[in-house]
């Protein structure tokens, strides 16, 4: 079986990225949290973005419907973090 590596730094394959996406990771940052891909040299981030595309993402679907993707519990906390 041929393995297509997306992230050489951490040995993450395209199959692994797709599995994390199927499990709910919708952004390169969420993929990075799941498997470290994209956190070292960063050369794989665009490839990860291409794999993720505009596929099925619950948060994206909420945004497309005009709803907030995240329901802030305390808006003042968000403005302090920014």
Residue 78 predicted with pLDDT over 60: no
**Residue 13 in 3-state DSSP?**
strand
* 7-66: pLDDT as tens digits: 999 999 999 999 998 888 888 999 999 999 999 999 999 999 999 986 666 666 666 666
* 53-69: pLDDT as tens digits: 866 666 666 666 666 65
**What Cα–Cα distance (Å) separates residue 59 from each residue in 4, 13, 15, 64?**
28, 24, 22, 9
């Amino acid at each position: 079986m041929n393995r297509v590596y997306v992230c050489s730094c951490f040995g993450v394959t395209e199959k692994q990225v797709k599995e994390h996406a199927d499990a709910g990771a919708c952004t390169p940052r969420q993929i990075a949290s799941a498997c470290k891909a994209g956190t070292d040299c960063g050369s794989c981030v665009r490839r990860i973005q291409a794999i993720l595309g505009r596929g099925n993402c619950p948060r994206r679907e909420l945004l497309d419907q005009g709803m907030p993707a995240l329901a802030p519990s305390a808006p003042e906390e968000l403005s302090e973090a920014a």
